[in-house]
Amino acid sequence: GEDVEQSLFLSVREGDSSVINCTYTDSSSTYLYWYKQEPGAGLQLLTYIFSNMDMKQDQRLTVLLNKKDKHLSLRIADTQTGDSAIYFCAESPGFQKLVFGTGTRLLVSP
Amino acid sequence: GAVVSQHPSWVICKSGTSVKIECRSLDFQATTMFWYRQFPKQSLMLMATSNEGSKATYEQGVEKDKFLINHASLTLSTLTVTSAHPEDSSFYICSAREGGQKAGITDTQYFGPGTRLTVL
């Protein structure tokens, strides 16, 4: 089955690192994604990782993938107040289809 | 980057009326578009996959006669909520996938800003 789980809430101080975790179930996903949603808005693709990679770094973002444990994480370095949003991980169990996680609300305080 | 627009951004309607939501890919051709709904503080749930020139594929539990999807061109898909009821109130988000395969990313979906529907 398709079930993507995330912790619901994370609160950090500005300048700290944030780590958002995700567990997924479908090992056939070719790509895994992280999306950001600001209040009342659509989703913005932040980054993605190919399933045969362990890590991907993109400026302040670092994605770690543990395929054995089906665990994905997103680390945001030097978190800013503008990073406050809901973050969704997503797996792609079949061509075209995305299955989203439950979303993690990140709150960054000054 | 690829831009997807939705219209309207919000709509309020009376129970029993129908509402049409448009999703447009502005700078690319989208052979496939997706429709999601999102309840407050919840994740996105895929409703249907819309392929240009063919019938939409609906997810289990989604009434195809209630949520009519039309994808008549490579840049436009519409979702019509027929005989809307208060329980249909939600945030509807579309996404579009570019035709063909972009090198390195086969499933990239570009999302619209969403349409908030309130049914009174």
Question: If you measure CA to CA, which chain B residue comes closest to A91?
Answer: B107
Probe site for chain A from B91, B107, B111, B117 (most A CB atoms < 10 A): B107
Q: Do β-strands B90-98 and B30-38 pair in parallel, antiparallel, or remain unpaired?
A: antiparallel
Structure tokens at B58: 């609906």
Give the SS3 label for residue A84.
coil
Phi-psi region of A4 (alpha: psi -120 to 50; beta: other; left: phi over 0): beta
Mean pLDDT for all residues in chain B: 89
Determine whether the interchain pair B49/A97 forms a contact, defined as Cβ–Cβ distance below 8 Å.
Answer: yes
Q: What is the pLDDT of residues B34-72, one digit of tens each?
A: 999 998 878 889 999 988 888 899 999 999 999 999 988
* B34 within 8 A of B109, measured Cβ to Cβ: yes
Determine whether the interchain pair B43/A102 forms a contact, defined as Cβ–Cβ distance below 8 Å.
Answer: yes
Q: What is the pLDDT of residue B12?
A: 96
In this predicted structure, the answer to whether residue B105 has a pLDDT above a threshold of 60 is: no
Q: Which of B46, B49, B108 sits opposite A45 (nearest CB)?
A: B108
B103 falls in which pLDDT band (50, 70, 90)? very low
Residues in chain A predicted with pLDDT less than 50, given as ranges, are 1
